[in-house]
Structure 1
Amino acid sequence: MRQKSTESAAPPIAKAGSIPTQGNDIELLQARAQASPGDANNWATLGDALFAKGRFDEAIVALEKGSVAAPDRADIWSALGEARVMASPRDPMPSAALTAFRKALTIDPKDPRSRYFTAVARDLRGEHQGAIDDWLALLKDTPPGATWENDLRRTITQVAKINKIDVTEKLAALAPTSNHPAMPSGLIGGAAIPGPSAEQIRAAAALTPSQQDSMAQQMVSQLEGKLRANPGNLDGWVMLMRSRKTLGEEAKASRALADAIAANPAAAARLQSEAAALGIAKL
């Protein structure tokens, strides 16, 4: 889920899928960038195309060159940070990625992607309340009608639930107030994934803690059965990763990521991005 916008006049990096990503097309983008090494747009477009193909190490090289060509482009620094996250085999938030996100924020303090991932970093460090506060601030700046607002709310709710932090009133009182750049749908882990139904929530509230745990495990098992029957359900895989994370089953969450990629290699970039946003390490 990747953010490609900035408040500067410089054009944003194109969203994945909006530019050609076939091998020959990438070669053309590489040739164009190499022919005009001072043109940050060319490096940014190449980096995005490589990211979309899951070629994260190469995307890093392109985006680093873009950051040299235009060191004041927050969107390029932010994209570089995410590419460094995706290229890391185990660490969900490498220090080099965090450095890039922080650099982006010095240029544009409202950069949504960098704000989101720096909050992820706080959560990974155990600063759960701080991370939630940062996400709430980001939610406050969410553009009216942004398609990812509900997904950000769900992220806040899930992290709060895991860490027993009450955010009910703050979420209920919070409404978008500013027309800041929006993140595309891929940035928030679990985007467009339905949560439990109202009936399931009411039923769970009437159970003892041990019964609630049993119910959760049953629902996860049912989800795994559905994924065995339909392994192409990407939203289902992200829901499984999120569920394992919520249950504190880190190894199983990583296994779910590996299984999801094995079943859907063409969607590896999206799955890894979703996992990184949830703080799930690769096997």
Structure 2
Amino acid sequence: MTHINVLDPGASPLDYYGFELRRHREAAGLTQRQLGDIVNYTGSLVGQIETARKLPTPEFSERVDAALGTGGLLSRLVALVMRSQLPAWFQQVAELQTRAAEIYSFESQMVHGLLQTPGYARAVLGTLNQADLDDRTAVRMARQSIFEKEEPPVFWAVLSEAALCLEIGGPLVMRDQLAHLLSFEDDPRINVQVLPYSAGAHAGLQGSFDLYRFERDPVIVYTESYGSGHPTANPDTVKDCSLRYDHLQAAALSLKGSAQMIRRVMEERYGEQRGSDGDSVA
């Protein structure tokens, strides 16, 4: 078991967070239980976070910052903590998402991680691996904080119709996920288009990819395979994928048409479930 008195604040962002949490708590003259009572968490959880055995959440960090008057220190640190928990191969991509001014994504099978609901993300991450599922889900959801920045990126997502129909997590999870996509209808910075099956052969048949555009740096193309990510600024690859994305957007439904399809699929496939006798079962 890790003891707080030997916790090395330089070992990792999580250790540093725990060290600072304990330092500020003790400076306020509070026990772990007392702080927990103030912020509506258990003293045990406070202790686990102080000893780097549990991940803090943004909500926990905000409450403790307010209770201890830390000036937002823990809320700033929690973003680093969450990023440090990502697989090593994905940490560079998370940094690209944080710095990008514009993100263009094509997904051939599922909803992009930046647009996933907790239930959908949990179902995706839990496939074949249930270990630390709560923490891994929290880490994925924390990436979406890029949309809360003072200058959030413009995000364009082209989803294959398959992403709407592949039932991940069950009907209720899918209904919630599609409703979440519809919540962006009036947000000019987050745009969702659906590439319908009727488009036939299209420019994204080789697979999903992202384009990251920055204020000053070169454009990055990102593709992914099992357990590894592949970002590149190769001009030929960037040119090819940019052209492909233009064609995907042209073949996709309009923003309004896409919302109509998402709403229709949500109701027809994931609406109220009925048994053979016609009675509601969900």
Q: TM-score, normalised by structure 1?
A: 0.25
Q: Report which of the two structures shows the higher radius of gyration computed on alpha carbons.
A: 2
Structure that is richer in strand per residue? 2
Q: TM-score, normalised by structure 2?
A: 0.25
Structure that is richer in helix per residue? 1
Q: Which has the higher contact order (CA 8 A, sep 6+)?
A: 1
